[in-house]
Amino acid sequence: MITFSNVDVVYPNGFKGLSGVNLEIAKGEFVAIVGLSGAGKSTLIRTVNGLVPYTEGSLTVNGSLVDPRSKTKLRRVRSKVGMIFQSFNLVNRVSVLNNVLLGRSSMTSTLRSLLGWYREEEKELAFECLERVGIVDKAYNRASALSGGQQQRVAIARVLAQQPEVILADEPVASLDPPTAHKVMRDLRRIQQEDGITCVVNMHHLDLARAYADRVIGMRGGEVVFDGPVAEATDAVIETVYQRSLTAEDVAATDVPVNLNDIAGVEVLTPDAADEAAPRSA
């Protein structure tokens, strides 16, 4: 459903951010993108919704061409592609509920969203989305009054209000402490599975990628250098992606919540299980 065919990105300063990327990401897949800083992870994710325009090749989402030159086509693609950022990107001084309603802005007239006039069914949807991430009781709080984990849940609810087919997440839990990071990832994974949403997530820590993704894509120098199921993304393989030995910092957001496996229908790999499957080299 997301297809990259020979995609290059050359930034205006001439730097090549992506080179010859070919990928097929199926509907409902949860894909983790890993790679060292500067490998091209954000560039890859941002080409999917046209935030970064590709300069060669072609890219389609659900059959629609992502055409960086056509605002109308981009708007159509973006209406079905939600994005979550490391820094949450909430409007701090407005309520949690209004932040979630902003997820409807691509489906609502500019005037109505500016004035905050939303239909009853949109408000109901926003409450439902907040309920799914367990913070409906915070609906009338200012976003700035919430913890980091709660703010990222608001960001997930905002994306859900968009009723997306694809969720892109750029280091969504990098600024959270490890237990909170796992809880937020667990929510994202549960919702993604319940709704059959395709998720493409940049990940800093390998244990998070292994616990929640179906598939790992490894990047280096703007190229895809590994692509396979999580079970194949062993430490030895990732060392070839990084071209160096792994450090504890690469692997671990430790402190896995004990009830990680309590999600119906989700089989997650804890770091211990991942260790058994893939003994750490060195």
Toward ligand ATP, which CB reaches closer, 53 or 257? 53
Q: Are strands 198-202 and 64-65 parallel, antiparallel or unpaired?
A: unpaired
Per CB under 6 A, the list member of 41, 104, 132, 183 interacting with ligand ATP is: 41
Per CB under 6 A, the list member of 7, 31, 39, 48 interacting with ligand ATP is: 39
Toward ligand ATP, which CB reaches closer, 40 or 103? 40
Per CB under 6 A, the list member of 2, 43, 66, 271 interacting with ligand ATP is: 43
Residue 280 CB, nearest approach to ligand ATP (Å): 22
Per CB under 6 A, the list member of 37, 72, 110, 259 interacting with ligand ATP is: 37
87 binds ligand ATP (CB under 6 A): no
218 binds ligand ATP (CB under 6 A): no
Fill in the DSSP letter of residue 106.
Answer: G
Number of neighbouring beta carbons within 10 Å of residue 214: 15
Residue 137 CB, nearest approach to ligand ATP (Å): 34
- From CA 278, how far away is CA 273, in angstroms rounded? 8
Write out the chain in H/E/C secondary structure: CEEEEEEEEECCCCCEEEEEEEEEECCCCEEEEECCCCCCHHHHHHHHCCCCCCCEEEEEECCEECCCCCHHHHHHHHHCEEEEECCCCCCCCCEHHHHHHHHHHHHCCHHHHHHCCCCHHHHHHHHHHHHHCCCHHHCCCEHHHCCHHHHHHHHHHHHHHCCCCEEEEECCCCCCCHHHHHHHHHHHHHHHHHHCCEEEEECCCHHHHHHHCCEEEEEECCEEEEEEEHHHCCHHHHHHHHCCCCCHHHHCCCCCCCCCCCCCCCCCCCHHHHHHHCCCCC
129 binds ligand ATP (CB under 6 A): no
Toward ligand ATP, which CB reaches closer, 87 or 147? 87
38 binds ligand ATP (CB under 6 A): yes
Residue 204 CB, nearest approach to ligand ATP (Å): 7
How many residues sit close enough to ligand ATP to count as binding (CB under 6 A)?
12
- Binding part of the chain for ligand ATP, among 9-17, 20-28, 130-138, 152-160 by CB under 6 A, reads 9-17
162 binds ligand ATP (CB under 6 A): no
Per CB under 6 A, the list member of 32, 42, 100, 224 interacting with ligand ATP is: 42
Fill in the DSSP letter of residue 248.
Answer: H
50 binds ligand ATP (CB under 6 A): no
Toward ligand ATP, which CB reaches closer, 35 or 103? 35
40 binds ligand ATP (CB under 6 A): yes
Rg (CA), the chain: 19
- Binding part of the chain for ligand ATP, among 41-49, 142-150, 156-164, 206-214 by CB under 6 A, reads 41-49
Site residues for ligand ATP per CB under 6 A: 11, 13, 15, 17, 35, 37-43
